Amino acid sequence: MADPKPRSSNRLARLLVLGVLFHVVYSWSIFDIYFRSPLVHGMTPVEAPQPAPASRLVLFVADGLRADKLFEKQLDRAPFLKDIVMNTGSFGISRTHVPTESRPGHVALIAGFYEDVSAVTKGWKHNPVEFDSVFNESRKTWSFGSPDILPMFADGASDKHRVETFMYPPEFEDFAEKDASMLDTWVFDKVDEFFENAQKNQTTLDLLRSDKIVFFLHLLGLDTNGHAHRPYSKEYLNNIQLVDSGIKRFVENWDAFFNHDGKTAYVFTADHGMSNRGNHGDGNPDNTETPLIAWGAGIAGPDRKNAVVDSYSIDWGLDKLKRVDVNQADVAPLMSTLIGIPYPMNSVGELPLAYLNNTAHYKAEAAFRNARQILRQFFVKQESKRSTELYFEPFPFLLNHEALIQEIQGLIAKDLMDTAIEKSQELAKLCIEGLRYYQIYDWLFLRGMISVGYLGWIANSLLFVFKNYAGYSFGAIEEDERDRKMVTYGAVVFFAAFSAFMYMKQSHPNYYLYIAFLVYLWAQVFKERRFAWTLITSNLKSGAWMMDFSKGALYFVGLEILVCSYFAREILTPALIVAGIVWPMLTPESFQKNNSGILSYWRISCIGTSIFLMLPVEFDEDMRLVTLGGILILVSGIFAAYFLPLYAQAKLPGTKSRSKNPNEDKAPPAVIMLQLLVIFLSIVIVNDTSSRLKAKKGLPLLNQVASWLILASCAAIPMMDSVKEGQHYLRRLVVIYLSFAPVFILLSISYEALFYFCFSQTLLSWLLMERQLYSETSEPLGNDYADVTKRVTRSSSKAAANASNSNDASFRFLTTNDLRTATIFLFLINVAFFGTGNIASVASFTIDSVYRFFTVFNPFLMAALVIVKMWVPFFLLSAVFGVVSRSIRLPAFSLFLLVLSTTDVMTLNFFFLVRDDGSWLEIGTTISHFIIASSFIVFQIVLFSVGHFLVGRVLIPEVRVKKD
């Protein structure tokens, strides 16, 4: 008879590949369902009312400027803008959209459209804006500033010569500079140079003196200083002063150039704010609330009759003025109206009339045209949806749109401007609601499809685990080959029918992939229906089904607790404390008596690690904590180097050595001594680099090279010190622990290194607990196994081969008792997730630590290093998990697959918790939760592969049980 092991291995490989592809594709469903932008084409532009109040527009975007840092009572740091707010122009808060990154913020400001959330993954300057913008509708736009922002609007313009750019080199964006405000100084100087040269070029002069022109000044200094020094630093606050003085100089020179003709409109705002950690990206109000100040031609002056009094205005000392808050996309129609150009065709911004200083007739006409522009989008979207639906249900509130349009026109003709404005704004809101109505038109179908797909994966993978790793082979039950073929044919017909239905609906290509996975997974489940039915009925007939059900229910409760931890990481603190205190109390008394040292170690390490989950995720640099963490790691490494030979020779109670060479580990391994030296150098380098950066001396080349060499050594040492036959597992784990330590030290700015030390102790104590507990309770587990054997019929030789995938006959099958080990593993993963930050929030991780490696702005390399830092605890956990699985005699993939098969319970929770309304903080958080959960399988496969590589062949001695 053929060996069943290759067949099982092939099935396992297919399952893992299927799981990765399924979760990668289904992760994208969040954008297709909730956040695919309703971008429509085929409209004709609607021009703003004429004559325009301004001939030219100047847009200042202070990248990364928070509203509170500009408007707070210490506004004297920006005296020119303060004077504008108090005496000349209008002001308010511009609320940005998630994600609060530079690209989508500028798209909203300049195109009036909230770009597809997924567009942030496409890059910045290499992905031009693919729809209409204010710049594209202008006669000519000159832009000055960052090479990361300017090209996307220039390359996306219908006429490449319409948008001209002046950019500094990318290497100017250096976070180690004494003051990144030099980026803004460069912009203001470059504008002065431009005007000097323009005096000598008649073509440029003619363009400058024409109408419908735009100047765009992108000021990146605040963003760079905020990242490098935090938004409350003197560098950031002084940069506000520099921007203020630069704008004052620009305005004076500009007005003089145009002989103070009063035909210029000025708009000052920001693309996003910044958290106290110097990051942005999520929906935190510090990131979403930006200043908006407008003045000049066509702009209303300060309104003291309708003052807004709330916590913002009082705290800022501006409670005697009217504050006009807007959504970020509203700025685009405002700019279009001011210079009389067509509104960007995909703009969904609502014109903020309070900023306009013009006649009531002009305002009414502007509001009406703004509404008509959005209405044209609505018509195109409606007709597109109508043409693809078998039964079309139109948006009910715009069925009489023609009557509403005629009513508005009649009101304007009768000079009832206030009523006309109200009706126009009502029409604009209805159009936006209508666009959303058609955006979510297929939500019920799509969400149902995705949910059924995830349930299909859970069912399919669990059946694989039961059949191959839990011993439920039911050798007497074989699915009929003809029946399996009929299921396949039925699945093909079902997919073809759904594909035809989606083709008629002109569905997005991704939907075909969703259906394909759904049909395939449920076809596989249906092929195993006899096995599944026998599995259910045989367990129900046994006497242990209630106990098994209870354990499964507790496991499910554990998954729900983990779901809650994503919203409040603090919930993991009591969970860890309970695990540290209660679990030992539930073990047999003999175990507690014989292993008091291990139990105390487990309790102390759990309580110590739990503290970090209560600490704030926003913290300043504290090299004392970094140094303390490094010293503790160094001391623990010295301790391990000294006692490791004793462990390897089994001189400590509780182990039994199988080492073939009794003299191989009498002295501390040389590799560990080398690692201790690297850790010591890391502590010295990180302190020296930090002190030099604080002193504004820049990043020393020697320190930079040393940091990169240490990073390379951390990856090289575990590979060079490969696992040899008979190498003790503790020796290997110590090498891994010390290899990753320098990375964490170099990338830490506060308590992260301390967390690494405490978390490592928790992992080691968990390993010792599981090993000793399994050894001393293996007889009860054996009885459970025997009970399972009585309940079902097995083909023992085939099942054993499938279960172990190994020639080691000591491997056993999974039982419900192993759910506890899986639960602890999942809890430890979440502890690693949230130990030093909230992984669901982009702004909870600081990039300051990457300055030990480089300081020139490079978002992708910065993100890569931050991700490396985040992954370090998981690599260590994966290595320990591999040893735990082998220590309790489970096949390598069994416990791993059990985890993968069930964690989509969490994914479904997050899928239905996703929000596309409410605060941007809520929206951004729910998106990241789903993406993390859905990507968990890919993450776990990487971890398992790394763990298998690191500890795959180490010697794991049997545990000697103490006798009373």
* Residue 104 or residue 607, greater confidence: 607
**Distance between CA atoms of residues 150 and 142, nearest Å:** 10
* Residue 354 exposed, middle or buried by CB count within 10 Å (0-12, 13-18, 19+): middle
Bond from prior residue into 99 cis (ω within 30 degrees of 0): yes
pTM, two decimal places? 0.75
pLDDT digits (tens, 9 = 90+) for 799-830: 333 433 333 446 788 888 888 888 999 899 88
Please, which residues bridge with residue 269 across strands?
A: 61, 292
User: Which one has a higher pLDDT value, 614 or 368?
Assistant: 368
Examine the pLDDT at 281 and tell me if it is beyond 80: no
Considering Cα of 696, then 699, then 701, then 706, what sign does the dihedral take?
positive
pLDDT at 418 over 80: yes
Whole-angstrom Cα distance, residue 115 to residue 104? 6
The angle at the Cα of 407, spanning 406 to 413, to the nearest 5 degrees, equals 90
At 722, the pLDDT band (50, 70, 90 cuts) reads low
Please tell me the predicted confidence (pLDDT) of residue 513.
92
Cα dist from 566 to 220, 311, 583, whole Å: 33, 30, 23
Q: Is 216 helix (H, G, I), strand (E, B) or coil?
A: strand
Give the separation between CA 168 and CA 300, rounded to whole angstroms.
Answer: 35
Q: Residue 299 contacts by C-beta under 8 Å, 6 or more apart in sequence?
A: 89, 90, 265, 266, 338, 355, 356, 357
pLDDT band at 715 (very low <50, low <70, confident <90, very high): confident
Parts of the chain belonging to CATH 3.40.720.10: 46-358
Predicted pLDDT at 103: 77
Closest alpha carbon to 760 in 616, 875, 617, 613: 875
pLDDT of residue 807: 36
Distance CA 236, CA 769 (A): 51
**752, pLDDT greater than 70:** yes
Q: Who has greater pLDDT, 424 or 713?
A: 424
What's the rounded mean pLDDT across residues 712-731?
A: 75
Here the tokens at position 113 are 């459209």
Return the axis-axis angle of helices 4-27 and 509-527, rounded to nearest 10°. Answer: 150
Q: Considering just the CA atoms, what is the radius of gyration of the chain in Å? A: 32
d(C-alpha 430, C-alpha 731), whole Å: 68
Q: Does the pLDDT value for residue 782 go beyond 60?
A: no
pLDDT bucket at 8, cuts 50 / 70 / 90: low
Q: Average model confidence (pLDDT) for the chain? A: 82
Which residues on neighbouring strands pair with residue 218, listed in sequence order? 61
Residue whose tokens read 């995705």: 450
Q: pLDDT higher for 926 or 844?
A: 926
Q: What is the pLDDT of residues 351-377, one digit of tens each?
A: 999 999 999 999 999 999 999 999 999
State the average pLDDT over residues 593-610.
92
pLDDT of 175 above 50: yes
Say which residue the tokens 């799509």 belong to.
446
| pLDDT band per the 50, 70, 90 thresholds, residue 117 | low
- Residue 586's pLDDT band, with cuts at 50, 70 and 90, is confident
DSSP string, 340-402: TPBPPTT--PPP-GGGB-S-HHHHHHHHHHHHHHHHHHHHHHHHHHHTT-SS----GGGTTHH
CB of 297 closer than 8 Å to CB of 304: no
Question: The tokens of 438 are what?
Answer: 């058609």
DSSP letter assigned to residue 422: H
User: pLDDT class for 529, splitting at 50, 70, 90?
Assistant: confident
pLDDT: which is higher, 882 or 956: 882
Q: What is the pLDDT of residues 70-80, one digit of tens each?
A: 888 766 788 99
Which residue shows structure tokens 């009860």?
Answer: 780
Given a cut of 80, whether residue 751 has pLDDT beyond it is: yes
Three-class DSSP category at 222: helix
- In CATH terms, 46-358 corresponds, of 3.40.720.10, 3.40.50.261, 3.40.50.360, 3.90.420.10, to 3.40.720.10
**Segment among 476-485, 588-597, 846-855, 884-893 with least mean pLDDT:** 476-485
Count CA atoms within 13 Å of residue 216 on its CB side.
31
| Helix (H), strand (E), coil (C) string for 671-707 | HHHHHHHHHHHHHHHHHHHHHHHHCCCCCCHHHHHHH
What was the pLDDT predicted at 659?
A: 45
Q: Are 610 and 576 in contact (CB under 8 A)?
A: yes
Contact 92, 323 (CB under 8 A): yes
Residue 145 pLDDT level (bands cut at 50, 70, 90): very high
**165: confidence class by pLDDT, cuts 50, 70, 90:** very high
